[in-house]
């Protein structure tokens, strides 16, 4: 199917020329499930775009060398010929939406390739079952959670039955159950097709992957023998003791009979009663669409509960419902929502002003980014780097309650360890940290208490 | 919920758009208030049938009322030279010409109806359906129609992103000066969204020979409503010209 002879692709990234290159010949064939691994910012997404033909067809960079599909280059008229054969799922599923409603969105890809009504109906039934899409019908696309959106776009692409599937973190927002079903599905369909996947859930895909390609941080593409990576060791302390943000000891976050509903008579969250204490790291798990993001909005004081209260107690001071807002640091799912300024330095200025030591600032940056130019726009970073920047911009603001929405999305193992280490050190300052995650390994390593949100109830699990 | 449950329209959005266009021209041109009221009521009836809720209607009425009131005050404060004659009315500390007040009230009523109908139309007309109808039945090219569709549908995403950016600024405690720069990330979002949307259309295989699951066809009742509307429109125009 694919033949990749030595090639190099160079493009401008943050003012520097970034190179992605291959020094040997590689070929991929059907019945393979190839995992592309490597640190975030290395060029995994770029490699997928080369394999789709988006690069060089829709790119300003320079590709030298040869990448062929069925013996023909991927660009020019061949790009159009390969549209149905090679399908590509973007990293951010919302980027791929065309229509306002999920139903039309699901049918769009099949309509483009002139599927009959019977075929479309059969696909709908099949994927409705596989991805539990019944929950999304009738909604607006703008109302979908990331997980729901990801399932929808995936289903729409898979319904085409392509020869090649290029998947960029297809399970990043899926809950473990949906992930397991999806991996099983991938394994069953790969028989007469090629699947190339970028995924950080290495433990979960290792049994179905047939080959592994690594893209190193300097852009070198090379085959790996397997998915066994040397265990990333526990990271050294950041040394946050000296930073000048308040310490909290008498801090509590209480939910008292808290309920919430968007539609009358249909409670999304029902009668939540629990409390988190100073220095605790809380993980919230739950299936896609169960209301985790809504719970976060209530804890942050963005919305008021329909009934009951959420209270943040800081010693004698009490902040109820929306009054909590000034004490909260919120890390959004979409890191771009955090960025306001032209440069990374300006974005970090507010958060880093509490860190007097220049060495400490540099050490933190070095551990969070392989290479960073502070004078460049934050929008030019890779998705994983943007996420890490948004975390650094928020955690040192001196807020007593930190809420992280999917902090490990798009992160390699090393970065996940660094984020975990940072959270554990912030714990010593007495902050309450709550995070939503589908990453069980991260939860196990980081959280003190784990809660599952199911059918409107929040239950602690051991 | 079942696939495509509850998506039926009382009247096709394409015809509703045509009626709204003609209706708005009439409301803009006519100065005969009872006729304007008749036209606005007819259009609002169709919007209600097409799914406009009472809650939204009352909210939009409030907006239209504020907008029209501002216009009324401007009419009273700065009347034209021709209106600065005749009897004067004193309300508290303010004194107005009666002619200016009457003229202001007429403009207020016209503007209220005009702005209410135009705002309600955006809630009742499904623009996706209009564009798809034009692509399927009226030869609008897919390379024109689909980018337009993405642009229209991105409005809700923009709103969500705007809310998130605003919240982010509040969480960071940025001052009002910095918050003005909310436009910068929103602009970046717009550019990136259009870039990704275009790429999505290409990678998902959009082509001129595509088929459509739904026909977005007009039905007999749509045509009946359109005919009724134009009959009423012609009558109202004739009466308005007669009484001008």
In this predicted structure, the answer to whether residue A415 has a pLDDT above a threshold of 80 is: yes
Could you tell me which chain A residue has the CA closest to the CA of B167?
A: A302
Say if the Cβ atoms of A340 and B169 lie within 8 Å: yes
Could you tell me which chain A residue has the CA closest to the CA of B147?
A: A98
> Is residue B8 less than 8 Å (CB to CB) from chain A?
no
**pTM for the full model?**
0.78
* Contact residues for A80 (Cβ-Cβ < 8 A; gap 6+): B207
Say if the Cβ atoms of A95 and B212 lie within 8 Å: no
pLDDT of residue A234: 60
Q: What angle do CA A442, A135, A158 make, to 5 degrees?
A: 75
Could you tell me which chain A residue has the CA closest to the CA of B204?
A: A109
Query: Number of helices and strands (H, E) in chain B?
Result: 9, 2
* Contact residues for B82 (Cβ-Cβ < 8 A; gap 6+): none
Closest CB from B172, B182, B213 relative to A350: B172
SS (H, E, C) A363-385: HHHHHHCCCCCCCCCHHHCCHHH
- H/E stretch holding A9: strand A2-13
> Is residue B175 less than 8 Å (CB to CB) from chain A?
no
Angle between the A383-395 and A344-352 helix axes, to the nearest 10 degrees? 30
Cis peptide before A56 (omega within 30 of 0): yes
Q: What angle do CA A330, A392, A405 make, to 5 degrees?
A: 35
Residue B138: which region, alpha, beta or left (left: phi > 0; alpha: psi -120 to 50)?
A: alpha
pLDDT of residue B40: 97
In this predicted structure, the answer to whether residue A5 has a pLDDT above a threshold of 60 is: yes
Higher-confidence residue: B240 or A91? B240
pLDDT of residue B7: 59
Say if the Cβ atoms of B1 and A134 lie within 8 Å: yes
Say if the Cβ atoms of A111 and B172 lie within 8 Å: no
Q: pLDDT tens digits, residue range A419-462?
A: 999 999 888 888 999 999 988 889 999 999 999 999 889 999 87
Q: What is the DSSP letter of B181?
A: G
Percent of chain A clearing pLDDT 70 (strictly above)? 97
Pairing assessment for the beta strands A269-277 and A251-260 based on DSSP bridges? antiparallel
ipTM, two decimals, is 0.78
- H/E stretch holding B27: helix B13-29
Tell me which chain A residues have a C-beta less than 8 angstroms from the C-beta of B162: none
Six token digits for residue A64: 């030298």
pLDDT of residue B132: 92
Q: What is the DSSP letter of A119?
A: H
Q: What is the DSSP letter of A263?
A: B
Render A289-317 in DSSP notation, one character per residue: TSSHHHHHHHHTTSS--SEEEEEEEETTE
Query: Which residue numbers in chain B have pLDDT < 70?
Result: 1-7
- As a 3-state breakdown, chain A gives helix, strand, coil percent values, each rounded to 5, of 35, 25, 35
Highest mean pLDDT among A117-121, A209-213, A242-246, B41-45: B41-45
CA distance A302 to A296: 9
**How many cross-chain Cβ pairs, A to B, lie less than 8 Å apart?**
148
Say if the Cβ atoms of A397 and B202 lie within 8 Å: no
Q: pLDDT tens digits, residue range A201-217?
A: 888 888 889 899 999 98
Query: pLDDT band at A154, cuts 50/70/90?
Result: confident
Tell me which chain B residues have a C-beta less than 8 angstroms from the C-beta of A300: 171
Q: How far is A137 from chain B (nearest CA, A)?
A: 6
Say if the Cβ atoms of A142 and B157 lie within 8 Å: yes
pLDDT of residue A114: 92
Paired with A33 in beta bridges are: A195
Tell me which chain B residues have a C-beta less than 8 angstroms from the C-beta of A141: 153, 156
pLDDT of residue A40: 78
Closest CB from A54, A92, A342 relative to B203: A54
Expressed in angstroms, the distance from the first to the final Cα of chain A is: 48
User: Hey, of B51, B128, B203, which one would you mutate to test binding to chain A, going by the most A CBs within 10 A of its CB?
Assistant: B203
CA distance A50 to A132: 32
CA distance A282 to A423: 11
* Among candidate residues A15, A18, A3, A2, the one with its CA nearest the CA of residue A63: A18
In this predicted structure, the answer to whether residue A198 has a pLDDT above a threshold of 50 is: yes
Backbone angles phi, psi at A282, to 5 degrees: -110, 130
Closest CB from A84, A138, A399 relative to B205: A84
Q: pLDDT tens digits, residue range B200-227?
A: 898 888 888 899 988 888 999 999 999 9
Say if the Cβ atoms of B200 and A97 lie within 8 Å: yes
HSE toward the beta carbon, residue B149, CA cutoff 13 A: 30
């Amino acid at each position: 199917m694919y033949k990749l002879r030595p090639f190099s692709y160079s493009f401008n990234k943050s003012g520097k020329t970034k190179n992605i290159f291959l020094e040997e010949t590689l070929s991929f064939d059907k019945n393979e499930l190839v995992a592309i691994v490597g640190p975030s910012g290395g060029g995994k997404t770029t490699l997928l775009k080369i394999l789709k033909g988006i690069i060089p067809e829709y790119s300003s960079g320079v590709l030298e060398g040869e990448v062929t599909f069925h013996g023909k280059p991927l660009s020019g008229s061949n790009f159009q010929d390969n549209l149905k054969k090679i399908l590509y799922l973007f990293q951010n599923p919302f980027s791929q939406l065309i229509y306002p409603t999920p139903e039309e969105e699901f049918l769009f890809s099949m309509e483009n390739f002139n599927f009959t009504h019977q075929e479309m109906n059969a696909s709908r039934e099949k994927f409705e079952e596989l991805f539990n899409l019944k929950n999304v019908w009738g909604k607006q696309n703008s109302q979908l959670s990331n997980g729901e959106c990801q399932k929808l776009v995936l289903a729409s692409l898979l319904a085409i039955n392509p020869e090649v599937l290029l998947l960029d973190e297809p399970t990043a927002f899926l809950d473990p159950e949906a992930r397991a079903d999806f991996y099983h599905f991938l394994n069953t369909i790969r028989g007469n097709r090629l699947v190339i996947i970028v995924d950080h859930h290495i433990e979960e895909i290792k049994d179905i992957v047939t080959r592994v390609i690594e893209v190193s941080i300097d852009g070198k593409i090379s085959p790996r023998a397997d998915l066994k990576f040397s265990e990333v060791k526990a990271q050294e302390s950041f040394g946050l003791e000296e930073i000048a943000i308040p310490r909290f000891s008498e801090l509590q976050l209480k939910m008292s009979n808290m309920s919430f509903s968007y539609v009358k008579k249909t409670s999304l969250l029902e009668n939540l009663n629990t409390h988190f204490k100073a220095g605790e790291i809380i993980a919230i798990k739950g299936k896609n669409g169960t209301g985790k993001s809504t719970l976060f909005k209530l804890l942050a004081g963005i919305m008021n509960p329909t009934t009951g209260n959420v209270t943040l107690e800081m010693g004698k001071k009490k902040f109820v419902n929306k009054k909590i807002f000034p004490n909260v640091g919120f890390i959004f799912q979409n890191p771009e929502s955090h960025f306001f300024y032209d440069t990374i330095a300006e974005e970090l200025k507010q958060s880093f002003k509490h860190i007097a030591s220049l060495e400490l600032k540099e050490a933190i940056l070095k551990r969070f980014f392989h290479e960073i130019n502070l004078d460049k726009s934050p929008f030019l970073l890779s998705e994983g780097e943007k996420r890490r920047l948004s975390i650094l911009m928020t955690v040192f603001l001196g807020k007593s309650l930190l809420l992280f929405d999917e902090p490990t999305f798009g992160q390699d193992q090393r970065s996940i360890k660094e984020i975990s280490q940072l959270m554990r050190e912030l714990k010593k300052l007495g902050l309450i940290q709550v995070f939503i995650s589908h990453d069980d390994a991260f939860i196990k390593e980081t959280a003190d208490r784990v809660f599952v949100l199911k059918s409107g109830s929040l239950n602690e699990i051991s | 919920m079942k696939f495509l449950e509850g998506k039926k329209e009382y009247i096709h959005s394409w015809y509703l758009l045509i009626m709204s266009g003609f209706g708005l021209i009439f409301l803009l041109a006519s100065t005969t208030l009872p006729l304007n009221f008749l036209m606005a009521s007819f259009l609002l009836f169709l919007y209600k049938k097409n799914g406009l809720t009472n809650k939204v209607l009352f909210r939009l009425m409030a907006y239209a009322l504020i907008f029209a009131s501002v216009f009324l005050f401007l009419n009273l404060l700065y009347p034209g030279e021709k209106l600065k004659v005749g009897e004067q009315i004193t309300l508290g500390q303010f004194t107005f010409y009666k002619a200016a007040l009457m003229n202001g009230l007429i403009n207020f009523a016209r503007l209220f109806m005009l702005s209410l109908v135009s705002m309600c139309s955006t809630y009742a007309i499904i623009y996706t359906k209009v564009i798809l109808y034009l692509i399927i039945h009226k030869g609008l090219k897919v390379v024109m129609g689909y980018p337009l569709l993405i642009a229209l549908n991105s409005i809700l995403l923009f709103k969500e992103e705007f809310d998130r950016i605003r919240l982010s600024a509040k969480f960071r405690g940025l001052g009002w000066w910095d918050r003005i720069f909310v436009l910068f990330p929103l602009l970046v979002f717009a550019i990136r969204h259009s870039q990704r949307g275009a790429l999505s259309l290409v990678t998902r295989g959009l082509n001129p020979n595509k088929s459509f699951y739904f026909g977005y066809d007009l039905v007999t009742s749509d045509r009946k409503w359109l005919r009724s509307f134009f009959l009423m429109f012609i009558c109202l125009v004739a009466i308005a010209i007669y009484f001008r």
